[in-house]
Amino acid sequence: MNAHKAKKKAEEAAKKAAKQGVTPASAAAPAKVAKGAAPAAASAAAPAAAIAVLADGDDAPLVDDDTLIAQVPRGTRDTLPESMAIRKKAFNIIEGVFQRHGAVAIDTPVFERWKTLMGKYGEDSKLIFDLALQGGEERCSLRYDLTVPFARFIASHGISNIKRYHIARVYRRDQPVMSRGRFREFYQCDFDIAGVYPLMFADSDAIKAMCEILDALPGIGPFAIRLNHRKLLDGMMTRCGVPDDKLRPICSAIDKLDKEAWWCGATNEAAAKANCTCVKHEMTRLKGLHEAVADKLGELVKIKGEPRGVMAKLRAVEGFAAPNADGTESLAGEGMRELEVLFTYLEALNCLERICFDLSLARGLDYYTGVIYEAGQTGPSAVGSIAAGGRYDGLVGMFAGRKVPAVGVSIGIERILTIMEEAERQRAEGKVRAKATQVLVTSIPLKADPAAMGPEAEAAATAAAEADAITRMRVTASLWNAGLAAEYRFGLAPGWTTQVKDAAADGVPYLLVLGAIGSGAVTAKDDTASNPGFGRIYKRVMDPAERNKGHQLGELVKLEDAPKRLKEILDAEAAAELQQQAAPAAAAAAQA
């Protein structure tokens, strides 16, 4: 339904509700509707407004300002508890690797001065979100990435050497594809090393950190790192005859080779009519490169493979890395020499086997000056780049007036979270645990018929239920004091089945069942009946239908000792899980 019809129907429903003086069910609470469907009627309290909740992140209908659309802006999304749990897990893993490599955390404003960001991103500068000017204030924009703000940070604080990480949101006015993890607002997790260090030490450290993160994140599976060098790429383009003023535009075209074909086989005229997107036609038809130069370049950018094998192929290309006419080292020669050192260090760090030396990798951002890399899954369900980075020796100098070399990597966290969530759902049979609760403190309420009770018996039952609630609170507080994540259900006597079902739904791994309620026993066979200071610990959540059988199997424990015992159990489980996670890597290392 179009926007006009949606608006008209919503207004009619609102008028009808106001006339009748009642709030229809459709107006009492926002109803979730499909894209393009009519918004629900407004509430009687606000008859002039229409309310709709849209189920996806597409554009909202174009309606008047008095129509309330319960929808996030295009290219953004809310994060539900299950997704937040996975996000936190991923951040903890990533941050742990950054810290193990000696990095410190920083933060910068979510928006920067417009002049700070402009001219740093090449053709992607058009994707920067500008903020509306406010009465003479300086022009500002939302940050496009975390790298340029980091360069500005170094200059602002007079820093010469720093190894830092930064996990924060960035913004791009891109065409979002929500299903493929392309958003307008998303997180980046950056790790950068700034300062003067011996050749390729910092670069290899950054690549190793990237490998460790992708190995540690659940669900990523096999991955490879495409790697190239900007000096090698520029030298290659110059040798092929690309003019200096076309180096960056042609570099941007080359960077699309992982998504587009080199050549469709059609002439420029036919390609123009068919709106062809192949890389060769972009170079020649759109960017004015001579076809013979493009063909020569095309033979080289198709070369990729095992790092030292590709090096051997390049040395076999006549004149590829030959010195300049004045005898100085050429850009291509310098790039190859630096890569030889890098490959030696990556081999020492046990991650060279991850590298695919790919001459088509260009990384479109203008600020890269040296080694560049991009990681992606290698399986059939690959979602594209999941981490990328490189060396940018000139960026800080734009702000500081002095050269501060830097290299880093950015983790594509949004795509990774999509992969992790799917893997977690498969592992947990569709259920992703959102809560961190480790223990639910519960008890079995006494069964009594209120109708059969006299006033004194009813008062006694209420007092017993109050005493039980106080006990659950005290026991739970003792678990909190021991550093355990624990909960108890609110209410004087919450139903046993309800408590167990809640624990199962939340994925709580342990129950601590109190031994008695007031003077009432849990069960006639239970040895805690005569001593309410005891309880039983149950592994996982037992089936309500089997609770009596399961109750007898629980571990008896004094309530005062429960925090210590539960901590021992949970610590042992965590250690076993870590050992299990480390087993594949240990086996691979032993085999190597």
pLDDT tens digits, one per residue of 555-587: 888 889 999 999 999 999 888 877 776 666 566
**Can you give the pTM of this predicted structure?**
0.74
What pLDDT was estimated at residue 443?
Answer: 84
Output the pLDDT for position 521: 36
Q: What is the mean pLDDT of residues 15-30?
A: 42
Domain count, the chain: 4
Q: Please state whether beta strands 520-521 and 516-517 pair in parallel, antiparallel, or not at all (unpaired).
A: antiparallel
The pLDDT, as a whole number, for residue 539 is 79
Same domain, 362 and 234: yes
C-alpha–C-alpha distance, residues 280 and 268, integer Å: 9
Q: Residue 24 above 60 pLDDT?
A: no
Does the pLDDT of residue 181 top 80, yes or no? Answer: no
Residue 83 lies in a domain: yes
Residue 518: predicted pLDDT = 38
Same domain for 8 and 39?
yes
Predicted local distance difference test score (pLDDT) of residue 48: 40
User: Is residue 197 in some structural domain?
Assistant: yes
Give the lowest-confidence range in 62-71, 147-156, 230-239, 254-263: 62-71
Q: What is the pLDDT of residue 582?
A: 67
Start-to-end CA span in the chain (Å): 61
pLDDT for the residue numbered 266:
72
The pLDDT value recorded for residue 590 is: 60
Q: Residue 46: its pLDDT value, please?
A: 42
Beta strand spans in 342-485 (E): 355-358, 371-377, 385-391, 406-411, 439-442
More confident site: 107 or 547: 107
**Is residue 103 located within the same domain as residue 181?**
yes
Query: What pairing do the DSSP bridges indicate for beta strands 223-229 and 371-377?
Result: antiparallel
In a domain, 392, yes or no: no
Instruction: Give the CATH number of the domain where residue 251 resides.
Output: 3.30.930.10
Paired tokens of 527: 């040895």
If asked whether residues 450 and 532 sit together in one domain, one would say yes
- pLDDT, one tens digit per residue, over 28-55 is 344 444 444 444 433 344 444 444 444 4
Mean pLDDT over 377-392 rounds to 84
The pLDDT assigned to 465 comes to: 84
The pLDDT value recorded for residue 51 is 43
Percent of residues, the chain, with pLDDT higher than 90 = 35
Residue 541 has pLDDT above 60, yes or no: no
- In the block, tokens 């509707």 appear at 33
Q: How confident is the model at residue 141 (pLDDT cuts 50, 70, 90)?
A: very high
* Spatial distance between the Cα atoms of 527 and 556, rounded to a whole number of angstroms: 9
pLDDT at residue 68, rounded to an integer? 77
- Residue 525 pLDDT greater than 70, yes or no: no
Whether residue 304 is contained in a domain is answered as yes
Structure confidence at residue 5 as a pLDDT band (50, 70, 90): low
Per-residue pLDDT at 1 = 47
On whether both 183 and 311 belong to a single domain, the answer is: no
Read off the pLDDT of residues 416-443 as tens digits, 9 standing for 90 and up: 988 888 888 777 666 777 888 999 999 8
- 51/114 same-domain check: no
In the block, which residue shows the tokens 């399986």? 379
Same domain? For 544 and 524 the reply is yes
Q: So what's the pLDDT on residue 268?
A: 65
d(CA 155, CA 112): 14
CA distances from 292 to 235, 240, 296, 316, 360 (A): 17, 9, 6, 21, 18
pLDDT, tens digit (0-9, with 9 covering 90-100), for 436-484 = 899 999 988 766 666 666 788 778 878 888 888 999 999 999 999 999 9
Confidence at residue 514, expressed as pLDDT on a 0 to 100 scale: 86
Contacts of 462 (CB under 8 A, 6+ apart): 492
Asked if residue 61 lies in contact with residue 7, where contact means CB atoms within 8 angstroms, the answer is yes
Range of the domain at 505: 439-574
Decide: helix, strand or coil at residue 365.
coil
* Sequence letter at residue 454: G
249 and 143 housed in the same domain:
no
* 211: exposed, middle or buried (Cβ count in 10 Å: 0-12, 13-18, 19+): buried
The yes-or-no verdict on residue 198 having pLDDT over 90 is yes
Residue 475 is part of a domain; what is its CATH number?
Answer: 3.40.50.800
Whether residue 230 is found in the same domain as residue 365: yes
Per-residue pLDDT band at 98 (split at 50, 70, 90): very high
* DSSP, residue by residue, 508-536: --EEEEESEETTEES-TT-TTTT-TTEEE
Q: From 328, 303, 151, select the one nearest 233 (Cα to Cα).
A: 303
The C-alpha angle 347, 351, 352, rounded to 5 degrees, equals 55
In tens, the pLDDT along 268-298 reads 666 666 667 788 888 888 888 888 988 888 8
The answer as to whether 588 is a domain residue is no
| 231/149 same-domain check | no
Examine residue 587 and state whether it is found in any structural domain, yes or no.
Answer: no
Average pLDDT over residues 219-235: 92
Q: For the chain, how long is the longest CA-to-CA vector?
A: 109
Quick one: pLDDT at residue 64? 54
Same-domain status, 120 and 246: no
Write out pLDDT tens, residues 315-333.
988 888 888 889 899 989 9
In a domain, 591, yes or no: no
Supply the mean pLDDT for the chain: 80
CA 577 – CA 565 distance, rounded (Å) = 19
Q: Which residue has the higher pLDDT, 247 or 527?
A: 247
Q: Is residue 389 part of a domain?
A: no
Residues 36, 176: one domain?
A: no
